[in-house]
């Protein structure tokens, strides 16, 4: 692990994150020790090492919390995506607490925050997260099968730990998203769709694998391609799952699902009693 001093902790959003409506991204780390076989972040210019070593290095911005203290006023009330080039709940976050330090620093400025993670460690920070008035915690749960998870993302946390953490976040009254992204092979489409629907997440996102024959950086890597082919999972299976899920929940696909939580005003209005509520 490398520790660096960074000059900035909030960067202007670009690409699909910008198109989704975010103004800022926040990355306490570069690299990612979860090392998923299909990871597109491995090809991003911010992650400057060769994709071949992806998953085996991590750089921590040791001054992240201090920077957030200084720079938080510029993101006040604005949509922030955390994180865009890595996962903010890396295993080393348990000791370093950079993500937590940033959350504490930005809390008084109330950005519209989206946290995107595979890390159950997010539940550690519920005490801070509860103070954000416009927030969504998106958990990536890309399959129902831990056997499949171990093939595609062997170093990432087990699926049940993610469900458990997301349950705790939800029970604390924090809006949550379930991101079946990228949608990995699913063992039991009906059971998984039912589980997601019964969980009642605020947002559900699915995303099929890119397939451009390896012609661009964010394309599905050869390891993931081979795994998909070996399992015999393809676009028709993805479509069958999404159609089944749509029986019970609204499903956003691909980048359409990555949008900020409602503004503080609209979130408050949505929870205010309506005339109709008075009569039920
Ligand atoms: S957790 Fe996210 S950033 Fe990390 S390797 Fe997996 S997909 Fe890439």
Q: What is the pLDDT of residues 36-47, one digit of tens each?
A: 988 888 888 887
Please give the Cα distance from 218 to 39 (Å, whole number). Answer: 8
- pLDDT tens digits for range 66-87: 999 999 999 999 999 999 999 9
Structure-block tokens of residue 122: 């997010």
Atom of ligand 1 nearest to the CA of 55: 5
Q: Which of 31, 53, 156, 183 to mutate to test the pocket of ligand 1 (most atoms within 8 A of CB)?
A: 156
Residue 219 has pLDDT above 60, yes or no: no
pTM over 0.85: yes
Residue 126 has pLDDT above 80, yes or no: yes
* Cβ–Cβ under 8 Å, residues 205 and 181: yes
Q: Which of 38, 87, 92, 141 to mutate to test the pocket of ligand 1 (most atoms within 8 A of CB)?
A: 87
In the predicted model, what is the mean pLDDT of the chain?
A: 91
For domain 2-271, give its CATH number from 3.30.70.20, 3.80.30.10, 3.40.50.300, 3.30.420.40. 3.80.30.10
Please give the Cα distance from 247 to 243 (Å, whole number). Answer: 7
The predicted pLDDT at position 14 comes to: 94
Task: Determine the length of the chain.
Answer: 280
pLDDT confidence tier of residue 280, bands split at 50, 70 and 90: very low
pLDDT confidence tier of residue 273, bands split at 50, 70 and 90: very low
Residue 61 has pLDDT above 90, yes or no: yes
The predicted pLDDT at position 277 comes to: 36
Please give the Cα distance from 144 to 195 (Å, whole number). Answer: 9
Which residues partner with 24 through β-bridges?
12, 80
Please give the Cα distance from 21 to 13 (Å, whole number). Answer: 9
**Comparing C-alpha atoms, which of 186, 32, 174 is closest to residue 114?**
174
Atom of ligand 1 nearest to the CA of 40: 8
Does any ligand 1 atom lie closer than 6 A to the CB of residue 162?
A: no
Please give the Cα distance from 127 to 25 (Å, whole number). Answer: 22
């Amino acid at each position: 692990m490398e520790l660096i001093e960074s000059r900035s902790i909030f960067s202007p959003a670009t690409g699909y994150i910008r198109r989704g409506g975010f103004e800022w991204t926040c990355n306490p780390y570069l690299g990612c020790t979860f090392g998923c076989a299909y990871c597109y972040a491995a090809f991003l210019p911010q992650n400057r090492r060769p994709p071949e070593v992806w998953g085996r290095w991590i750089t921590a911005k040791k001054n992240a919390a201090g920077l957030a203290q200084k720079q938080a006023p510029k993101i006040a009330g604005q949509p922030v995506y955390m994180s865009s080039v890595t996962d903010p709940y890396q295993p080393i976050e348990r000791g370093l607490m950079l993500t937590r330090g940033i959350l504490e620093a930005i809390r008084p400025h109330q950005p519209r925050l989206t946290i995107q993670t595979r890390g159950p460690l997010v539940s550690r920070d519920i005490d801070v997260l509860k103070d954000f008035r416009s927030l969504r915690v998106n958990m990536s749960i890309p399959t129902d099968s831990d056997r499949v998870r171990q093939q595609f993302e062997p170093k990432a946390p087990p699926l049940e730990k993610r469900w458990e953490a997301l349950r705790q976040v939800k029970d604390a009254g924090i809006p949550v998203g379930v991101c079946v992204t990228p949608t990995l092979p699913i063992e039991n489409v009906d059971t998984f769709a039912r589980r997601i629907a019964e969980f009642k997440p605020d947002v559900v996102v699915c995303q099929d694998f890119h397939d451009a024959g390896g012609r661009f950086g964010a394309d599905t890597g050869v390891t993931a391609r081979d795994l998909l082919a070996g399992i015999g999972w393809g676009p028709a299976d993805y479509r069958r799952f999404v159609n089944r899920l749509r029986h019970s929940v609204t499903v956003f696909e691909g980048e359409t699902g990555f949008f900020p939580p409602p503004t503080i005003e609209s979130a408050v209005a949505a929870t205010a009693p309506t005339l109709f509520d008075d009569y039920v």
